[in-house]
Amino acid sequence: MYIDGKWVKAVSNESFPVINPANGQQIGSVPKGGAEDAKLAVDAAEKAFQTWSKMTADQRGHLLRRWYETILDNKQEIAETLVLEQGKPMKEALGEITYAASFVYWYAEEGKRVYGETIPASHPDKRILVLKQPVGVVAAITPWNFPAAMITRKVAPALAAGCTVVIKPAEQTPLTALKLAEAAELAGIPKGVVNVVTGEPAEIGDQLLKDSRVRKVTFTGSTEVGKHLMRKAADTVKKISLELGGHAPFIIFADANLDLAVQGVLQSKFRNSGQTCICTNRVYVEKSIASQFIEKLRDASEKLTVGYGLEPETEIGPLIDEDAYKKVESHIQDAVQKGGKIESGGKRLTEFEGGYFVKPTIISGATEDMKIMQEETFGPVAPVMEFEELEEVVKRANNTPYGLAAYAYTENLKTAVSIAEQLEYGIVGINDALPSVVQAPFGGFKESGIGREGGHFGIDEFLEIKYVSLKI
């Protein structure tokens, strides 16, 4: 682990294995940290905060810029580590490192634009100043589906704002997190500013949550764990940002460019084997074009190459583990039992021993009562349904506790504006299936989360507002 600028074992001296999801083999091991390790990391972050927060934004920006360059200098190596512990195709892993680095680059500059305000006072002898100050020590708890980007999307704005950070990466993908910390060390980020604690999620999480020195928790992961953290954060009234689950509808109107819509579903549904929180979960197609669309989608999905991430032609990698596979399998079975028709895929590919590879799957005739229509599948399965009218499809699309991303394809401007305004989602892609970029706000409505990451919105999450009333 990386605590206070040192590479350390767990206090317990225990470790746990890191498994390659493509074949079930161990690729390494990392310390099994617990409460004591988390406390040591907060001690270090708290100490480093005293100096890091007092540096100028420009000084911090220089160090962030060096961190960005170091990540890119080591891009290939970090991407290979990511593929080995996470399974995604190399092309996607390289794309993720570029995306991850873009947050460090962007916030290196944005830290310089944390502007305060002055407000006209009510008395001639008073002045009102509004200052923005770093919130303090930040706990960042991150998932395995984007082992690099989910870290930098939190840590870069936190550091730019003047905060210090304790990262608790997902137990499936700790090696990428440690590589990023190595890059931070090489870049000269002072000790204690970035700390990584690997190990027991609940034990480390509980310790970070109950420590009143931790002033902010930023989390990406399941809605269930997010709610748990929100409850725990209440005891010390920490600021929180939560990026939780999604259940994205993908709506295709009869006037859409069908080929672009097919390509959009492929990108949004099958990227990372369907394991992203903004992945399409439900496809709604206007009735008049449904059969034509399903045929095109089936043909295109059958051409996708499933395989090992390090092989250059691979487009679809394995699922992260057995639990992930069981969920996908149960969603497919439930859909078939309730009358869904498998148009393509539908099975695990058994030729990959020790890994859980599922062929891209298209299910037609889906209905709203299927599990796949209500729960996040997190796998390469696309249920397709028909609709007849805009108002009807909006209602169906919004009928979920989630509200992260939604997509709509149409060539009609009026339809585009109407649906974009009516969808109860934090991110709406109109004729665009890949909306995530560094400068835009990423986050969800309803049970998909609280707060935004990216852009100038993302740095506000790490700042307190201080009102200074000045009598002269």
Q: Among residues 86, 142, 207, 400, which is the contact residue for ligand ADP, using CB under 6 A?
A: 142
The pair phi, psi for residue 285, each rounded to 5°, is -120, 135
Nearer to ligand ADP, 321 or 464 (CB): 321
Instruction: Tell me: does residue 335 bind ligand ADP (CB under 6 A).
Output: no
CB of 209 to ligand ADP, least distance (A): 8
Given 110, 277, 286, 461, the catalytic residue: 277
In terms of CB distance, is 170 or 252 closer to ligand ADP? Answer: 170
Return the residue nearest ligand ADP (CB atom): 205
Choose one: 70-78, 168-176, 395-403, 449-457; the region binding ligand ADP (CB under 6 A).
Answer: 168-176
Closer to ligand ADP at the Cβ: 202 or 234?
202
Count how many Cα atoms sit within 13 Å of the Cα of residue 148 in the half-sphere of its side chain.
35
- Smallest gap from residue 257 Cβ to ligand ADP (A): 34
* By CB under 6 A, residue 449 contacts ligand ADP: no
163 carries an active-site annotation: no
Contact call for residue 143 and ligand ADP (CB under 6 A): yes
Using CB under 6 A, which residues numbered 220 to 249 contact ligand ADP?
A: 221-222, 225, 228
Q: Near ligand ADP by CB under 6 A, which window of 28-36, 137-145, 337-345, 383-391? A: 137-145
For the question of residue 279 being annotated catalytic, the response is: no
Q: How many whole angstroms separate alpha carbon 154 and alpha carbon 100?
A: 10
| 264 binding ligand ADP? (CB under 6 A) | no
* Nearer CB in complex with ligand ADP: 109/171: 171
Quote the tokens at residue 59.
């000084």
Per CB under 6 A, 321 contacts ligand ADP: no
Please pick, from the candidates 111, 174, 199, 205, the single residue that binds ligand ADP as defined by CB under 6 A. 205
201 binds ligand ADP (CB under 6 A): yes
User: Which of 190, 201 has the CB closer to ligand ADP?
Assistant: 201
Instruction: Closer to ligand ADP by CB, 170 or 316: give it.
Output: 170
Count of CB atoms situated within 10 Å of the CB of 444: 26
- Counting Cα atoms < 13 Å in the Cβ hemisphere of 438 gives 21
Q: Can residue 81 be called a binding residue for ligand ADP (CB under 6 A)?
A: no
Asked if 204 and 19 touch (Cβ cutoff 8 Å), the reply is no
Exactly one of 110, 243, 329, 453 is catalytic; which is it? 243
310 backbone dihedrals φ, ψ, rounded to 5°: -80, -10
Lookup result for tokens 């005891």? 235
236 or 263: CB nearest ligand ADP: 236
- Report, in Å, the least distance between residue 238 CB and ligand ADP: 13
* Rounded least distance, CB 446 to ligand ADP, Å: 17
Interface stretch with ligand ADP, choices 5-13, 120-128, 167-175, 294-302 (CB under 6 A): 167-175
Go through 363-401 and write b for each residue having 16 or more CB atoms within 10 A of its CB, e for each that does not.
bbbbeeebbbbbbbbbbbbbbbbbbeebeebbebbbebe
CB of 44 to ligand ADP, least distance (A): 20
Least separation in angstroms between residue 201's CB and ligand ADP is: 3
Cβ proximity to ligand ADP, 227 vs 466, nearer residue = 227
Listed residue (391, 399, 304, 390) closest to 92, CA to CA? 304
Cα 318 to Cα 306: distance, rounded to the nearest angstrom: 8
Judged by CB under 6 A, the residue of 141, 167, 316, 393 near ligand ADP is 141
Residue 331: CB minimum distance to ligand ADP, A: 15
Catalytically active residues are 243, 277
Residues of this chain that interact with ligand ADP (CB under 6 A) are 141-143, 168, 170-171, 201-202, 205, 221-222, 225, 228
